[in-house]
Structure 1
Amino acid sequence: MKSIKYLLMLMIATSFMMSCEDDLNITPEDDQTVLSEELFANESAYKEVLAGIYANLSLTGVDGAGSSNISGLDAGTSQYGRVLLYLQTLAADQMIWSYENDPGTREIQRNLWTAQNPLILGMYGRAHVSIAFANNFLRETTQEKLDARNVSAATRAEIVTYRAEARLLRALAYYHMMDLFGKASFVTENDPVANFFPPQIERAELFTFIETELNAIMSDLVDARMNEHARADKAVAWMILAKMYLNAEVYIGQDRYTDAISMCSNIIGAGYQLATNYDHVFMADNDVNSAVNEIIFPIISDGLRTQNFGPTTVIINGSVGSLEVNGAEVGVGAGGWGGALRVRRQFAELWQGGLFDNDDRNSIISANRPIDIVDISDRDTGYIIQKYSNATSTGGFGSDQTFVDTDFPLFRLADVYLMYAEAVLRGGTGGSMSTAQGYINSLRTRAGNPNMVSVGDITLDFILDERSRELHWEAHRRQDLIRYNRFTGGNYNWAWKGNGTNGIAIPAHFNVYPMPTNSLASNPNLTQNPGY
């Protein structure tokens, strides 16, 4: 069972009460603004409050899936994994959302966004909630506070690890801010709680902070694969660093590919293994089937205990075709959400040519459908996919037919293999192309694809396409295209890029999202990104 999920239920009534108004310049809905001393009378509260930081990745409020603990943002526009998926995937060349009356989606998928977009505000706000929750936890676990409460030696020893996890989750949120916005409202546990406008911090400073922070806590984190399911360990820290180093030329204008190889090698050497079946990674029991050996860090989902409109609930219900009505196959209502999600032509074409006809990663459904989406509202056009499922590897289904049990694999080993190969290709040292070849072929073998690659086949273009085939709809694509200089400009156009049916160039400033108008209005220290 997903042990952390039981903790989430314990903490909902406590951790979501923590104040984040001054940290975030957004208003929490709950009237209680501090963690009471009574809460910590029982020393188990420390783990429960830590669980609250994790819960922010999955939950949006205390009153069910439709509630939000951030004023002005509903659950659909502020669930962490969902808005991350939208900003990284819906904005790029893999996914189309049919219902453009849903707030913010039209502008994101047509690359027309402005600083007023609610999905952009949702990502900014939800990331800063993680930061605020982590800061509150760190303020409540100082030596002075523990001394005043006469906390036992045994609990103090555990709190060392808890504090490292809180700092890691804060670093993860700042990493997403760095990648998506290029800056952040910067606040730590050492800053005042009231009457404080956080300063703005730019990309290079964020990079240094996150790198320094993760290295500082490394020895206090649990060893890789040794923590409870869905709790962070050393491998999660290595993964964030690997991502930063692979994209360092974008973030700070420096080549850090050798460091990326080092972090990838750390993860690979920690004992992770590919799931025996590609589908297992995206099924309702991916917390207990063979995927547990591959998934490094998930955003958890449970149809009963943590109901939310998160990425897997959206993807699985949304992927059910309007013509196919195939929801029963994947463990949701037969009609799902009526064809809400489809794929763009450019993604569909990655599977053509015969090499991927029998590849398990190829879940394209094309029968009776044209490949082109000329009218986004016409749900019967464009291919669909059936990658994620609310079915289990043993033949059962999830606990609910709307809210799925499927964890979202935020980080997994297959990504590490492909990052390793790319970093070697880009000139990093400490790795080899023959090793990279083995990793790539292991992905194809796992997928049942007999078409193995040679070292000579592995080019940067090949890696970009293989990343799309292996990692589609996992919130990586925008970042990948930016690293390859193919997101903005006209080097590569895809259907509906820039609001053109066949795609048109978009300006370079779209490589980062705008700072939300609401946030600018509430904090005089924030400035808008150029071009917006």
Structure 2
Amino acid sequence: MKNIFIKTAVVGLLALGMSSCSDDLNISSIDPHSSPSYDLNELLAKQYATLGLTGQQGGAGKPDLSMDEGESAFYRTVFNLQDMPSDECLWAWQGDTDVPAITNLSWTSSSTRANWCYSRLAYDVTLYNQFITKEAENAGPQVTAEVRFLRALHYYYFLDLFHKAPFKDKFDTSLPVEKSGKDLYDWIDQELTEIEPQLAEIGSYDDSKNFGRADQGAAYALHAQLALNSAVYTDGKVKDYQKAKDYCDKIINSGKYALSTQAKNGWTGYEQLFMGDNDQNQQAMKEIIFPIRQDGNSTEEYGGSTFLVSSTCGAGMPYRNINNYWTCYFAREDLVKKFFPTAANIPHATEKQVKDYTGTTESQVIAYDDSLGVSTKDVQKKAGDDRALFYMGVGGGYRTLNPGKTISGFLNGASIVKWTNYRTDGGARHNDTYSDTDIPLFRLGVIYLTRAEAEWRLGDDDNAIKDINVLRARAHANTIASVDKQTLIDEWCRETFFEGRRRSDLVRFGEFTGSSYLWDFKGGVAGGTGVDSHYNVYPIPAIDIAGNPNMTQNPGY
């Protein structure tokens, strides 16, 4: 099949055929079987485009869903439910819709953000069901398996976030039924098992032409993640840690992927994974197993990597290479402490140094930061870890390490500079407003850490230590000699912070709710307080229960 991917052209032509998706979706339907512009490749492109786009026009206009378009994106809705309530980051604008409730772990069944995510997942599943039901014969088994993978991925997020789904596996007008817990886990497990032999061989799409399509590597990565969380999803009935390890072994031992380790033009191997040319830089591509494709011109969006880059930067900050400053997300002090146990030891500009600074250009900011020893490179060096991607320099204003008693603005914590629109080759960005950076949804570094945890849970500490040290060596961090629960949960944070998964990891280790681990504003107070265990799972939106008698509410809501 020729290259269909979304950096060239994306056309959305699908009709809705699923009622009760938690909102009146208000979709303008075009029947692909009668439209003269219908093309199978365009239709397949739309399936993948659901991961990174929100409508038919661009950043805004002709949205898929009748709600805030930028907020309704697949990745942004999942990311916010995963990272916003965690120990990683805070959103500066607490007056924004539902932000305090998510920040403080105090949401209800009327949660707007839970509804945004639930609606997006349900809408995308509808598109996949239509393709699978109507186009399988024309598309053939391999392409159909790719769309089945996308559907399984969405049902995985239903399971992870809500522990149930409005389930359908065909395209018709019947209401979805409820599938939950072990039943949904078993279905995803079996679905992945069935499609894996039908997908292109592992690593087949690890090239510039088809980069971003799902092959066996993508399915194995999802299967490993599903299995690692099996005890959570099945209330302890299943503990598929050996399966998680086996799928990681398939990926690592295939030799098709490699960690990004070599510095390039001043950027570390780790940093290159989150840069604007990570779809052309061969080293980054070799680590990325399955990305969400992004391009500043071809995929204008406010819910993918533009969201990740712009939400973490403000005017005057270096390292971003975009003219779209949102000043929204910043690091909780608890995240900084994963690299600096005494957070005050992070190199940072004083209030007087910021006040006395008079430069205006990015190069001047960087030069002055360098002279003060407060650049991000200084932070990484002091942390002894390439992954300590924080900014506490003079650019954009004086930063504190925490908000105190009230979250009042973007400078209430260290700035996160993990995601950037710069290119390792120094080339020009494609667009001033939208990011070019692909989102590595699955990457080899995460597979090493998944295997390490599976090995630890199976009692194999020696191999767990080896896998963790592979990642620490890449980050130029000191190696470890022993492993325990705390080592693992902290290493998960250091390796994957601000990648949209922290809540899941905390839940798996029993630290998301309760009071065994507290962080700022957990439970709504500075310093944190314990919260009830029902917050481990998001509520089924009340509007969906009202519209679909097959759905029931989660306990506690």
Q: Same fold (TM over 0.5)?
A: yes
Is 1:466 aligned with 2:494? Answer: no
For these two proteins, the number of residue pairs brought into alignment is 498
Identify the residue that residue 186 of structure 1 maps to in structure 2: 167
Following TM superposition, by how much is the alpha carbon of 1:23 offset from its aligned partner in structure 2, in angstroms?
6.7
- Find the partner of 2:480 among 412, 432, 453: 453
Which moves more between the two structures, 510-519 or 375-384?
375-384
Please give the residue correspondences for 1:77-156 in structure 2 after superposition, counting only pairs within 5 Å.
Answer: 77-143=71-137, 146=138
Identify the residue that residue 259 of structure 2 maps to in structure 1: 274
Aligned residue identity for 2:468: I
Is 1:443 aligned with 2:471? Answer: yes
- Find the partner of 1:226 among 197, 201, 204: 204
- After superposition, the C-alpha distances for 1:21-77 in whole angstroms (9 at most, x for unaligned) are 42735444343253224558x7xx222212111111111111221236344321122
Contact 1:68-1:74 at 8 Å conserved across structures: no
Is 1:64 aligned with 2:26? Answer: no
- After superposition, the C-alpha distances for 1:449-498 in whole angstroms (9 at most, x for unaligned) are 3x1222xx222210110110110001111000000100011111100111
Q: Structure 2 CA distance, aligned partners of 1:434 and 1:240?
A: 25
Identify the residue that residue 427 of structure 1 maps to in structure 2: 458
Q: Structure 2 CA distance, aligned partners of 1:67 and 1:32?
A: 15
Do the aligned partners of residues 67 and 512 (structure 1) sit closer, same or farther apart at CA in structure 2, a change above 3 Å counting?
farther
Identify the residue that residue 297 of structure 1 maps to in structure 2: 290
Identify the residue that residue 176 of structure 1 maps to in structure 2: 157
- Find the partner of 2:413 among 348, 357, 382: 382
Aligned residue identity for 1:109: T
Is 1:255 aligned with 2:239? Answer: yes
- Find the partner of 2:317 among 301, 326, 346: 326
Partner secondary structure for residue 411 of structure 1 = strand
Identify the residue that residue 334 of structure 2 maps to in structure 1: 346
Identify the residue that residue 548 of structure 2 maps to in structure 1: 523
- Find the partner of 1:500 among 525, 528, 533: 525
- Find the partner of 2:278 among 275, 281, 286: 286
Following TM superposition, by how much is the alpha carbon of 1:377 offset from its aligned partner in structure 2, in angstroms?
1.9
Contact 2:56-2:64 at 8 Å conserved across structures: no
Identify the residue that residue 369 of structure 2 maps to in structure 1: none
Contact 1:278-1:361 at 8 Å conserved across structures: yes
Contact 2:20-2:548 at 8 Å conserved across structures: no
Contact 1:62-1:69 at 8 Å conserved across structures: yes
Q: TM-score, with normalisation over the residues of structure 1? A: 0.89
Contact 2:523-2:530 at 8 Å conserved across structures: yes
Identify the residue that residue 235 of structure 1 maps to in structure 2: 217
Identify the residue that residue 216 of structure 1 maps to in structure 2: 194
Partner secondary structure for residue 164 of structure 1 = helix
Following TM superposition, by how much is the alpha carbon of 1:356 offset from its aligned partner in structure 2, in angstroms?
5.9
Do the aligned partners of residues 215 and 62 (structure 1) sit closer, same or farther apart at CA in structure 2, a change above 3 Å counting?
same
Identify the residue that residue 422 of structure 2 maps to in structure 1: 391
Runs of 5+ unmatched residues, structure 2: 262-268, 346-380
Do the aligned partners of residues 214 and 500 (structure 1) sit closer, same or farther apart at CA in structure 2, a change above 3 Å counting?
same
- Find the partner of 2:438 among 404, 407, 418: 407
Is 1:166 aligned with 2:165? Answer: no
Following TM superposition, by how much is the alpha carbon of 1:321 offset from its aligned partner in structure 2, in angstroms?
4.4
Partner secondary structure for residue 19 of structure 2 = helix
Contact 2:7-2:294 at 8 Å conserved across structures: no
Q: Structure 2 CA distance, aligned partners of 1:520 and 1:398?
A: 45
Runs of 5+ unmatched residues, structure 1: 147-157
Partner secondary structure for residue 405 of structure 1 = coil
Please give the residue correspondences for 1:365-376 in structure 2 after superposition, counting only pairs within 5 Å.
Answer: 365-367=391-393, 368-374=398-404, 375-376=406-407
Partner secondary structure for residue 440 of structure 2 = strand
Do the aligned partners of residues 301 and 517 (structure 1) sit closer, same or farther apart at CA in structure 2, a change above 3 Å counting?
same
Do the aligned partners of residues 142 and 286 (structure 1) sit closer, same or farther apart at CA in structure 2, a change above 3 Å counting?
closer
Following TM superposition, by how much is the alpha carbon of 1:343 offset from its aligned partner in structure 2, in angstroms?
0.7
Question: Percent of aligned positions with the same letter in both sequences?
Answer: 32
Following TM superposition, by how much is the alpha carbon of 1:123 offset from its aligned partner in structure 2, in angstroms?
0.9
Identify the residue that residue 36 of structure 1 maps to in structure 2: 33
Contact 2:6-2:299 at 8 Å conserved across structures: no
Do the aligned partners of residues 205 and 169 (structure 1) sit closer, same or farther apart at CA in structure 2, a change above 3 Å counting?
same
Q: Structure 2 CA distance, aligned partners of 1:349 and 1:25?
A: 39
Partner secondary structure for residue 11 of structure 1 = coil
